[in-house]
Amino acid sequence: MMITVKKLNKMSSRVDVIFNDNCVNNPDETNPDVILLRSFDMTDYPVGDKLKAVCRLGAGVNNIPHKEYAKRGIVVFNTPGANAHAVAELTIAGMFLAARHVKDALFWMQSLPADDNLKTTVEKGKSAFSGFEISGKTLGLIGFGQIAKQTAKMALALGMKVASANRTFYTAEMLDREDLSGVEFKRDFDEVFKFSDFVSLHVPFAAELKGFVNDEKFAIMKNGAVLINNARGELVDSESVKKALESGKLSAYVTDFCPKELLNVKNVIALPHLGASTAEAEDNCADMIAAQLTDFLKNGNVKNSVNFPDVFAPLKKTHRLLILGNESAVPEIKAIAESINADVVSAVHKSGTSAALADSDEELDKSLFEKTSGVYRVLKIK
């Protein structure tokens, strides 16, 4: 069976290892089996009935209607952690930009006439950009995923104090194993906002988090604190940022997702979504997606999906089906498999959806499972 792939963005050529005699790249395909993308917005993108997988080379998936796709049995993959180092480095850079007033100093320097008085002018004017050192200051991390962990390691190495709050319980041994023993965990995120000199956002966007950082959060922050947002623009209320900057509650807002309302606002340091824009991060994402997609197409294994649970098992028999449905479908899937002497080698349900792998040495009739209540789609893998 020929698999057609369509790329919706420019990406690292290392992803091209997936292409072979049975898997081809076709930029003109209107009904592909697989779509690869980075930042392309698929909200209103027409999707054909052949589409099996959407692969996001990156972590955020707010540009993909993945919940809707789940009901059509379309698996959405991402690459968590593949760009973590790149985003963490940009977060550290943002702290330096804000603490040392680099942007304003750079623009002022570029505005000066190149004359014989340059040195004198610089020495007289440089005091306007006097800043502070980040060593000894507290960095508060809102979220503690892969990017936040990388940021924490870098900040600790620079002599900073690091605080976070997370629902996941970390033992001292776990933190020590990841070189994160210096991180202090507060009772909740409000405590992190309250005691931090820098607050950096590292949570995925969800509808309930729109405007998460607002007047209430700024009210409990230190005077003159710096907010860094390399996560998602919608997490921060723009009008609240303006008020916090005008009052001095916030000394700077550094963001990789600048809305039009904050462009050119004093003390807003706006970057053009540079977080994952390094050659290394793009290669990492490409390598990770290539491995996940190959395993999915060849073995039916699902790893790092955002709309279905991970399900995987070695293929030891001649035939395999991947059965995708809602979380109530698993018992009936198992019953049908048992009735036809097929093995359900793995079945997982999580957050409203389920995925199951059924193996047999005999040809499997996928229609038996398709009639099952709660099943969205059955893919014949072998």
Decide if 183 contacts 177 (C-beta within 8 A).
Answer: no
Decide if 234 is catalytic.
no
Q: Where are the beta strands (DSSP E) in the chain?
A: 3-7, 23-25, 34-37, 53-56, 75-77, 138-142, 161-165, 183-185, 198-201, 225-229, 250-255, 268-270, 319-326, 343-350, 353-360, 375-380
Please name the residue ranges forming H helices in 55-130. Answer: 66-71, 84-99, 102-111, 118-125
3-class secondary structure, 51: coil
Decide if 273 is catalytic.
yes
Of residues 261, 280, 338, 362, which has the active-site annotation? 261
Decide if 184 is catalytic.
no
Pairing of strands 138-142, 75-77: unpaired
| Angstrom distance (rounded) from CA 344 to CA 338 | 8
- Residue written as token pair 């089996």: 33
The two three-digit tokens of residue 341, written as one number: 């002497």
| Angstrom distance (rounded) from CA 2 to CA 10 | 23
What strand order describes the sheet that includes 319-326? 343-350, 353-360, 319-326, 375-380
| Angstrom distance (rounded) from CA 179 to CA 58 | 25
Of residues 232, 320, 349, 377, which has the active-site annotation? 232
- Residue written as token pair 């997490």: 235
Of residues 133, 177, 273, 338, which has the active-site annotation? 273
Which of 138, 264, 142 has the alpha carbon at shortest distance from 204?
Answer: 142
Distances 143 to 167, 200, 226, 300 between C-alpha atoms, Å: 9, 9, 17, 32
In sequence order, what are the residues at sequence separation of 6 or more whose Cβ sits closer than 8 angstroms to the Cβ of residue 312? Answer: 295, 299, 301, 302, 303, 346, 357
Catalytic positions are 232, 261, 273
